[in-house]
Amino acid sequence: MHSGNTRLVRSGKLVIVAGINGVGKTTVLSTMLKLLPPDLKVNVFNYGDVMLEIAKRNGWVGGRDDLRRLPLSKQLLLQEEAAEKLFDQARQGNVVVDTHALITTKNGFLPGLPKWVIETLQPDVIVLVEALPEEILKRRLNDTMRVRDDQSTVEEIKLFLELNRSAAISSAVFVGASVLIVRNVEGDATQAASKIVKLFTPDNA
Amino acid sequence: MHSGNTRLVRSGKLVIVAGINGVGKTTVLSTMLKLLPPDLKVNVFNYGDVMLEIAKRNGWVGGRDDLRRLPLSKQLLLQEEAAEKLFDQARQGNVVVDTHALITTKNGFLPGLPKWVIETLQPDVIVLVEALPEEILKRRLNDTMRVRDDQSTVEEIKLFLELNRSAAISSAVFVGASVLIVRNVEGDATQAASKIVKLFTPDNA
Amino acid sequence: MHSGNTRLVRSGKLVIVAGINGVGKTTVLSTMLKLLPPDLKVNVFNYGDVMLEIAKRNGWVGGRDDLRRLPLSKQLLLQEEAAEKLFDQARQGNVVVDTHALITTKNGFLPGLPKWVIETLQPDVIVLVEALPEEILKRRLNDTMRVRDDQSTVEEIKLFLELNRSAAISSAVFVGASVLIVRNVEGDATQAASKIVKLFTPDNA
């Protein structure tokens, strides 16, 4: 039977919101929560936070930085358990999963939604939040809070945006999810946020 | 065992012909049928038509517009049964499946050849019919017959062409199909059509 | 369970090095071998050579040209057995697999790392060696040794580079491999080569 069927047991929708660092995804998601009409409930989960929580409960890590130092076997286990937990959340209601379609590592671009994650999550939609490469670069340079060892030229960001789309499409083919590209316009996150809200409104079912 | 093996039981070839609205796919396919040498038989099936036929036989729909309104579970079932029917057609002879690699929906770009469809169809080749974005836009604007709520600028069409290629490659990796990009030159559909005919000629086996 | 787990039984790393004809992949790989520190062992295997060796042992072919003329069933079998042999090599030590993410054929672009190959190889990293389209074209024109019926304009090469990236990402999603794009700078293969060496150094684990 087709792999799309486990999605049918859910009462809520599961929407993945991905986007490379500097597109303003965090602002878009917090704006989205403010825009929700009173009768519409959507829970936002950060994929990395869910992994961290499971790792802490297992006594594997003290903090987020320890996650990367875990052996690959445990990282894969966490990745899969987090996906299962998020799928379960969507049995009861609408869920946004805040994550990445592609992650910059020192060994290259790592898929954030590999086969075993995407097939467990069974998302309805993968939203890619995008912004102009110049704006992304500016946001990254202004961001003094996080250490960012990734792309530092407009050309590198363009390449990453391109590969990110490719990764989202590849993951979508596994489960028949749609891929919605949402442009975050500088200074007006409500435009992008309202497009995500629309995905959860009943007349859009 | 590798997933490519069910292809071996077929006597005919199965070629998917995909392309976004406005590339002139319908004209290319009807031209292809006229160009076939007398000893070469190729049956063309429209994927949506095959789904509709099955849905009607099941008493699920009256007409094509009802297809979209079916619950997801039934749409997935139709999608899979249509793929099985088309694979069976290729047991006896050459088949062209007229469909889409990517479909524009209000929730974003939906893969037309998701895992369960491509793995059932096991195509030999996925042909992408393309045209210049400007020509596609012109054809879309002239087309008063169909309601088209999709891309309306050259930039949007360029993006869709790019994602369409990515979707075709992603689907091809599941089954080891080749991806043939065929340019439909304005006013001369025979060029594109004859490239599709060649895929079925024996010396090309 | 996730498909990534068979990777865990290996003591060595498996790195796929892919790149279209004319990027200078052969030079990069021989330079890499020279750059290896004395205590680091990496075995380079050409995927086609491994397939040929198995085919010869089975008595199926005399030389490389016969490979393409084998029935599809035997080609698929060879492709899979080669993947299994290479995975076994990585149980004992570091392996580079020299192959293609996408292959030009008369029926279009064929994935070099389809599902059954990539899921058997379980690579840690897929390296894409790239070069400027103009340099690739020049190398291809100067190469009088090989018959090359493939792309002959800068535009065609750009398209192939683009699709090649898409194919690498698609294959990577099946196994959670990272994709490292390495630019081969004209006249200085050591830059690209040293990036591949780094993938095998312990502090990069």
Total of domains in chain B:
1
For residue A80, tell me if it sits in a domain: no
Query: CA C154 to CA A169: how far, in whole Å?
Result: 27
Q: Which domain holds residue B175?
A: 3-204
Q: Give yes or no for a contact between A29 and A44, defined as CB atoms under 8 angstroms apart.
A: yes
Q: How many interface pairs between A and B have CB atoms less than 8 angstroms apart? A: 82
User: Measured between CA atoms, how close is C146 to chain A, in angstroms?
Assistant: 32
Q: How many CB atoms lie within 10 A of CB A175?
A: 25
Report the CATH number at residue B22: 3.40.50.300
Q: Who contacts B55 (Cβ-Cβ below 8 Å, separation ≥6)?
A: B61, B66, B67, B70, B74, B78
Query: CA B52 to CA B62: how far, in whole Å?
Result: 9
Q: Who contacts A94 (Cβ-Cβ below 8 Å, separation ≥6)?
A: A12, A13, A14, A15, A40, A41, A42, A43, A200
For residue C61, tell me if it sits in a domain: no
Interchain proximity A107–C176, CB inside 8 Å: no
For residue C160, tell me if it sits in a domain: yes
Q: Which residue of A has its CA nearest to C178?
A: A110
Q: Grade residue B1 by pLDDT with cuts at 50, 70 and 90.
A: very low
On the question of pLDDT at A4 being above 60, the answer is no
For residue C52, tell me if it sits in a domain: no
The pLDDT of B39-54, averaged and rounded, is: 96
Interchain proximity A109–C180, CB inside 8 Å: yes
Best interface-test mutation with A: which of C8, C129, C130, C173 has the largest number of A CBs within 10 A? C173
Average pLDDT, rounded, for chain B: 91
> Is C171 touching B (CB cutoff 8 A)?
yes
For residue range A69-112, list pLDDT tens digits in order.
Answer: 898 889 889 999 999 999 999 999 999 999 999 999 999 999 99
User: Measured between CA atoms, how close is C14 to chain B, in angstroms?
Assistant: 20
Q: Of A12-21, B3-12, B57-66, B148-157, which has the strongest mean pLDDT?
A: A12-21
The pLDDT of C61-80, averaged and rounded, is: 89
For residue range C155-167, list pLDDT tens digits in order.
Answer: 999 999 999 999 9
Q: Give yes or no for a contact between A34 and A205, defined as CB atoms under 8 angstroms apart.
A: no
Q: What is the pLDDT of residue B141?
A: 86
Interchain proximity C76–B126, CB inside 8 Å: no
Q: ipTM greater than 0.90, yes or no?
A: yes
Give me the residue from C165, C173, C181 closest to A114, CB to CB: C173
Pairing verdict, β C42-46 and B14-18:
unpaired
For residue range C96-127, list pLDDT tens digits in order.
Answer: 999 999 999 999 999 999 999 999 999 999 99
Q: Which residue has the higher pLDDT, B141 or B46?
A: B46
For residue A158, tell me if it sits in a domain: yes
For residue C70, tell me if it sits in a domain: no
Average pLDDT, rounded, for chain C: 91
Query: CA C165 to CA C160: how far, in whole Å?
Result: 9
On the question of pLDDT at B174 being above 80, the answer is yes
User: Measured between CA atoms, how close is C141 to chain A, in angstroms?
Assistant: 28
